[in-house]
Amino acid sequence: MDILHGYSRITWGEVLHGSGVSHPHELPADIRHNLVSLAEAFRVVRDLTGMAIRICSGYRSPAVNEACGGAPGSQHLQGRALDIRLVGRTATVLQPEMRALYRLIDRAQQNGRIHPGGLAVYAGRDPETGRRDTDWVDFLHFDTRGWRARWNSADRQRLLG
């Protein structure tokens, strides 16, 4: 599918994957516009890290958001949020890198490199053992809502250790 943003190396396919929408023109113009801004923020993050980042969830239609247990007012519905994972690393390397990525996005939001917005860690499975492990950062959510938001519980905060 077409590149969404000229310099971002991000495609419409990546942000619409699993969204319930197959083509950007099915979306209202304001959501398409939000996705282009989001892609720019993602480009900045990717360039700052140099890490191989995979988008696991971008835009979500209301039906998909409900099916995956997303918050009713989720920024994903507005095309302002990405859930991301790191790829191509061993589990041992991955955790420190996920924490580094969290700190990098946190700083980029604070110093204006990207729009201020939400940032949170989510626990999941250890990719090497397949075990459900709440000590494991599975993915990061970040969004471009325009103001700072954090919802890491004490448990999640521990993942950032």
Stretch that binds Zn ion, among 23-31, 47-55, 81-89, 90-98 (CB under 5 A): 81-89
Q: Judged by CB, which is closer to Zn ion: 6, or 146?
A: 146
- Nearest partner of 136 among 105, 88, 96, judged by Cα: 96
138 binds Zn ion (CB under 5 A): no
**Side chain identity at 138, as an amino acid letter?**
D
Binding-site member from 41, 45, 141, 159 for Zn ion (CB under 5 A): 141
Residue nearest to Zn ion (CB): 141
Stretch that binds Zn ion, among 21-29, 43-51, 86-94, 138-146 (CB under 5 A): 138-146
Question: Per CB under 5 A, which of residues 23..52 are in contact with Zn ion?
Answer: none
Minimum Å gap between C-beta 139 and Zn ion is 8
Please check whether residue 64 is in contact with residue 20, taking contact to mean a CB–CB distance below 8 angstroms: yes
Distance set, CA 98 to CA 49, 72, 89, 123, 159 (Å): 11, 27, 11, 11, 10
Q: Judged by CB, which is closer to Zn ion: 72, or 92?
A: 72
Stretch that binds Zn ion, among 3-11, 37-45, 135-143, 146-154 (CB under 5 A): 135-143
Please check whether residue 117 is in contact with residue 71, taking contact to mean a CB–CB distance below 8 angstroms: no
Q: Which residues contact 48 (CB under 8 A, 6 or more apart)?
A: 104, 108, 113
83 binds Zn ion (CB under 5 A): yes
80 binds Zn ion (CB under 5 A): no
Please check whether residue 158 is in contact with residue 144, taking contact to mean a CB–CB distance below 8 angstroms: no
Residues near Zn ion, by CB under 5 A: 81, 83, 141
